[in-house]
A = this chain, B = another copy of it.
């Protein structure tokens, strides 16, 4: 059985410094990623077409990152039944609160799985957790990552307890 891909869509290429963490994390977890720049407001047809064909094109999950009145994830979710993960991008004003509310407060019927403001890494991990339901190896990699994370904190803990 062919593995499902993850799409990472950003509303503007200026979001790349944040969003690249999601792309890297997905690749690090062995997931095939397709990264795109598409805007709910500036290229709305392209967004619609991408979303409508995503399932047929082998995607299992779509990550969408946008700032301000962040409609991108919601618009994608309107055109697919694939799970859509939204990353609210912190913009130049309001500290990302506008992006967060525009992404998370979706009306009944069309959910967006929202992560923290600028939470690109967590978007990737969530995508991996979703795809891992179907993929024992990915599950192992996620468990290993969780263990590594724990070990890293423990090292810092030891360093601090002894260092001060």
Contacts and interface: CB of A to CB of B under 8 A. Distances in A.
Interface string A60-104: 110000011101001101110111010000111111111011111
A156 interface: yes
Interface residues of A, number: 90
Nearest to A24: B164
B93 A93 contact: no
A62 to B, nearest CB: 11
Interface of A: 4, 11-13, 16, 23, 34-46, 48, 60-61, 67-69, 71, 74-75, 77-79, 81-83, 85, 90-98, 100-119, 121-123, 125-126, 129-134, 139, 142-143, 145-146, 149-150, 153-154, 156-157, 159-161, 164
Given A13-B159, A43-B153, A68-B107, 18 more contacts: A11-B107, A36-B157, A37-B153, A38-B153, A41-B78, A41-B106, A42-B150, A44-B75, A45-B48, A69-B74, A69-B106, A71-B75, A93-B95, A104-B114, A105-B116, A106-B119, A113-B113, A114-B114
